[in-house]
Structure 1
Amino acid sequence: MNRNKIACNCKNISYGKIEDAIFNGATTYEEVQEQLKFGTGCGGCREFIRYLIDDILEERGMKQK
């Protein structure tokens, strides 16, 4: 995964920032969103980021709560 790739253009949120939020204890879309505030501009990234979070958690042997 390219940690520098942007997942949310409006808030300039990279894949790496999402991964870091999960590494720091966030285990749900809502927890990651609360920390990073993505999806509050145009909202176009929400569904994609939901899948991205699922993929990152799955790689770590976890599931969203």
Structure 2
Amino acid sequence: MEDRIVCHCMEVSYETIKKAIEDGAKTVDDIKEMTEASTGCGGCEDEIQEILDELLK
């Protein structure tokens, strides 16, 4: 489900996070800066790290 919402506070999808990684994001902080994901409650930070680990392996 690549169209799923990962960050509900900022309505950031998996696809948006994947695109940020393709554009050079390598850390959760990079993802935060590029997409605003995890800048609300921060509850999705672990899931963002899992996506980073999966796509950057």
Question: Aligned partners of 1:39 and 1:32: how far apart in 2?
Answer: 8
Runs of 5+ consecutive residues of structure 2 not aligned to the other structure:
none
The one-letter code matched in structure 2 to 1:8 is C
2:21 equivalent to 1:9: no
The one-letter code matched in structure 1 to 2:8 is N
Question: Aligned partners of 1:38 and 1:8: how far apart in 2?
Answer: 6
Query: Which residue is 1:32 aligned to?
Result: 31
Cα offsets for 1:7-52 (capped at 9, x unmatched) = 1001111110010001111122211111011112121111111111
**Matched length:** 57
TM-score, normalized by length of structure 1? 0.76
Which structure is higher in RCO with an 8 Å CA cutoff and minimum separation 6?
A: 2
Q: Is the 8 A contact 2:7 2:13 kept in 1?
A: yes
Question: Aligned partners of 1:41 and 1:29: how far apart in 2?
Answer: 14
The structure with more radius of gyration: 1
Query: Which residue is 1:54 aligned to?
Result: 53
Runs of 5+ consecutive residues of structure 1 not aligned to the other structure:
59-65
